[in-house]
């Protein structure tokens, strides 16, 4: 069993929406489809939007500049939710790959899955308030991108 297949099986067992999305039959590569209404992808949009709102609130209030912020329960819960979102993005990537779709969304979801933990680490590692503000802004942008790439209507290839 390939690593990708093993990961897909493990992830499908953790979220019932993954199994439902995986059951959708492959489509012709030149047929643009929207996955935004499918449960897994709708869940990604909802969770990403909620996490973005939290990041934006932290940026506005400068909460992340407070001593002990990254050891606090609020941040640790956020971090867990962000890692779970990254796993869902990878699930979405694998499902689209298994369907045989050849579009940007498949690649973007994989990229977001890989970038999200890096953006969290950058926020944590920022040595001062100015660099932390930039890192929070980049994290917010990535979470917003996660919403927009799924909800944007697909366009036929030119």
Looking at the domain assignment, is residue 157 inside a domain?
no
pLDDT at site 24:
63
Overall size of the chain counted in residues: 158
Q: Write out the residue range of the structural domain in which residue 74 sits.
A: 3-151
Alpha carbon distance 105, 32 (integer Å): 11
Looking at the domain assignment, is residue 156 inside a domain?
no
pTM: 0.78
Alpha carbon distance 135, 138 (integer Å): 5
pLDDT at site 148:
95
Looking at the domain assignment, is residue 51 inside a domain?
yes
pLDDT at site 104:
87
Alpha carbon distance 147, 94 (integer Å): 18
Residue 153's CB: how many other CB atoms inside 10 A? 7
**What interhelical angle do 73-99 and 39-61 show, nearest 10?**
150
pLDDT at site 9:
60
Looking at the domain assignment, is residue 43 inside a domain?
yes
CA end-to-end span of the chain: 36
Looking at the domain assignment, is residue 60 inside a domain?
yes
pLDDT at site 125:
97
Q: How many domains does the chain have?
A: 1
> Mean pLDDT for each consecutive 10-residue tract of the chain (158 residues)?
57 63 59 83 98 98 96 98 98 92 87 98 97 98 96 70
């Amino acid at each position: 069993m390939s690593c990708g297949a093993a990961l897909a099986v493990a992830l499908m067992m953790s979220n019932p929406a993954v199994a439902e999305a995986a059951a959708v039959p492959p489509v012709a590569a030149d047929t643009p489809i929207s996955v935004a209404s499918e449960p897994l992808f709708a869940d990604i949009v909802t969770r990403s939007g909620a996490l973005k709102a939290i990041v934006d609130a932290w940026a506005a209030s400068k909460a992340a500049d407070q001593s002990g912020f990254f050891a606090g329960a609020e941040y640790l819960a956020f971090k867990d939710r962000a890692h779970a979102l990254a796993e869902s993005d990878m699930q979405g990537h694998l499902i689209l790959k298994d369907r045989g779709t050849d579009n940007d969304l498949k690649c973007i979801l994989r990229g977001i899955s890989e970038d999200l933990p890096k953006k969290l680490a950058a926020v944590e590692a920022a040595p001062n308030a100015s660099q932390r503000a930039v890192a929070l802004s980049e994290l917010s942008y990535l979470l917003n991108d996660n919403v927009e790439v799924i909800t944007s209507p697909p366009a036929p290839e030119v």
